[in-house]
């Protein structure tokens, strides 16, 4: 009993530590239990294979599916998104007219120095807080006529649509996810909805950034910028129909007259073409609670600890409770310890409930109480 009390005190310490860390975190993970009683282990459960929404992969179907999911995220006060922007220039796209190779190398050098400065124009952002629907969440509502190509796979796939497998385990990567890519055609650039989704009004701003950040290496004159490619990529948990992340990727073609200056002035003026890519990524966060284990086995009289993680806002008021569907077979205490009472062929459902901002979020874990030592020690 002394060891158990000591362990419980340790768990309360973990709770307190997590609360302190929550002040600086945007997503709070609450570790309810931190150990498994020696001699008891979790059972092995196969992944669920049935999708919540079955998708065949036709473009109209994909558009309707993505529209529905993004509309739900925009309307839901318990979903928020973190945004990140990656920028890059494809060195293979750089063409320097009248160049023997030296000028291209110089421009690549200058470009690499410049990208670090341009990166500051795209700060990380956090869209909304739990409890209030955020109006800035993107809703993808596009007609089929603006899509030139779509790609779809269950599990990760390469550019040719071939499944991608883990080199160590040989298993398909992310088999519980849909991967959806939408390529927009040339007409999409003039569409107001597309322009808003991709922030295409920044074209002149992009040119100005290049001019400013390359000023100590070269002067850019006559800079023409056009949209070369627009692409939307979405990764969706197919078991729950939850968007994990969406990428809005745009590639600009830039053509400019470049006059090298300062220490590079000796190389004169050149006409240079290159591609500039901006990828804005939305990573979605869903308020709720979940068990780390899907199912466990325990012997009569023994205990095992269940672990849950809650996603909530900073300094939130919440409660977490546990319930057993049959306490004559298995009980669970307020710290998440399951105790086997008697062996039974009937599985017991343990439910955890998070009360948060007037809503109840739940998850379930199956407990089997058995005398079979092979199961309890597998």
* CATH code (residue 319): 2.60.40.1080
The SS3 assignment for 52 reads coil
Residue 124 confidence (pLDDT): 55
Q: Are residues 91 and 235 in the same domain?
A: yes
Task: Give yes or no: residues 67 and 123 share one domain.
Answer: yes
Same domain (yes/no): 317, 171: no
State the pLDDT at residue 111: 66
Per-residue pLDDT at 332:
95
296 sits in the region (left: phi over 0; alpha: psi -120 to 50; else beta) called beta
Same-domain check for residues 237 and 318:
no
CB 129 within 8 A of CB 62: no
What pLDDT is recorded for position 246?
A: 94
Q: Based on the fold, state whether residues 152 and 181 are members of the same structural domain.
A: yes
Residue 235's pLDDT is: 95
Pair (242, 124) in one structural domain: yes
What does R_g of the chain's alpha carbons equal in angstroms?
27
Residue 350 shares a structural domain with residue 252: no
| Structural domain count of the chain | 2
The DSSP output letter for 4 is: H
The pLDDT averaged over each successive group of 10 residues in the chain (378 residues) is 43 33 34 30 42 90 95 79 78 75 69 57 54 70 96 87 84 90 95 91 74 78 87 93 93 86 80 86 86 92 91 79 96 94 95 89 93 62
**Residue finishing a domain among 286, 318, 353:** 286
pLDDT of residue 16: 31
Domain end point (choices 261, 286, 311): 286
My answer on whether 227 and 98 are in the same domain is yes
Asked whether residue 66 falls in the same domain as residue 102, the answer is: yes
- The range of the structural domain enclosing residue 7 comes to 2-43+295-376
Asked if residue 152 belongs to a domain, the reply is yes
The order of strands in the sheet holding 330-332 is 303-305, 337-340, 330-332
Tokens linked to 249: 């990727």
- Are residues 34 and 117 both part of a single domain? no
Identify whether residues 212 and 89 lie together within a single domain.
yes
Q: Is 52 domain-assigned?
A: no
DSSP state of 266: G
Specify the DSSP element, H or E, that contains 273: strand 269-286
pLDDT score for 322: 95
Cβ atoms < 10 Å from Cβ of 23: 9
Q: Dihedral through CA 328, CA 333, CA 336, CA 338, nearest 10?
A: -30
Q: Cβ(139)–Cβ(85) under 8 Å?
A: no
pLDDT of residue 148: 96
The answer on 318 and 243 residing in a single domain is: no
Q: Measured at the alpha carbon of residue 134, what is the angle toward residues 129 and 138, in degrees to the nearest 5? A: 125
Q: Is residue 54 part of a domain?
A: no
Secondary structure letter of residue 188 according to DSSP: G
């Amino acid at each position: 009993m002394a060891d158990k009390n000591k362990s419980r005190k340790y768990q309360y310490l973990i709770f307190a530590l997590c609360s302190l860390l929550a002040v600086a975190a945007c997503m709070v993970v609450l570790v309810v239990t931190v150990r498994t009683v020696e001699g008891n282990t979790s059972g092995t459960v196969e992944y669920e294979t049935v999708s919540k929404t079955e998708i065949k992969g036709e473009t109209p179907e994909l558009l309707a599916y993505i529209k529905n999911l993004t509309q739900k995220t925009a309307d839901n006060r318990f979903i928020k998104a973190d945004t990140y922007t990656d920028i890059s220039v494809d060195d293979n796209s750089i063409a320097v007219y009248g160049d023997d190779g030296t000028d291209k190398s110089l421009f690549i050098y200058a470009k690499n120095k410049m990208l670090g400065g341009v990166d500051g124009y795209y700060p990380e952002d956090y869209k909304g807080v739990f409890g209030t629907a955020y109006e800035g969440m993107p809703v993808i509502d596009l007609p089929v006529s603006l899509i030139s190509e779509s790609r779809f796979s269950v599990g990760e796939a390469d550019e040719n649509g071939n499944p991608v497998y883990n080199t160590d385990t040989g298993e398909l990567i992310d088999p519980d996810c849909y991967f959806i890519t939408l390529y927009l055609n040339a007409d999409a650039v003039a569409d107001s909805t597309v322009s808003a989704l991709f922030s295409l009004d920044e074209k002149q701003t992009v040119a100005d950034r290049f001019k400013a950040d390359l000023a100590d290496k070269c002067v850019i004159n006559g800079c023409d910028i056009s949209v070369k490619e627009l692409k939307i990529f979405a990764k969706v948990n197919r078991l729950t129909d939850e968007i994990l992340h969406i990428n809005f990727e745009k590639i600009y073609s830039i053509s400019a007259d470049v006059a090298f200056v300062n220490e590079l002035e000796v190389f004169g003026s050149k006409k240079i073409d290159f591609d500039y890519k901006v990828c804005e990524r939305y990573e979605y966060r869903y308020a709720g609670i979940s068990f780390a284990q899907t199912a466990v086995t325990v012997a009569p009289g023994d205990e095992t600890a269940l672990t849950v993680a809650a996603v909530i806002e900073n300094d939130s008021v919440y409660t977490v409770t546990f319930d057993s569907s049959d306490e004559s077979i298995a009980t669970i205490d307020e710290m998440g310890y399951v105790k086997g009472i008697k062996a039974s062929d009937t599985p017991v459902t343990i439910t955890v409930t998070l009360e948060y901002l007037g809503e109840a979020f739940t998850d379930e874990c199956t407990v089997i109480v058995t005398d079979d030592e092979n199961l309890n020690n597998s």
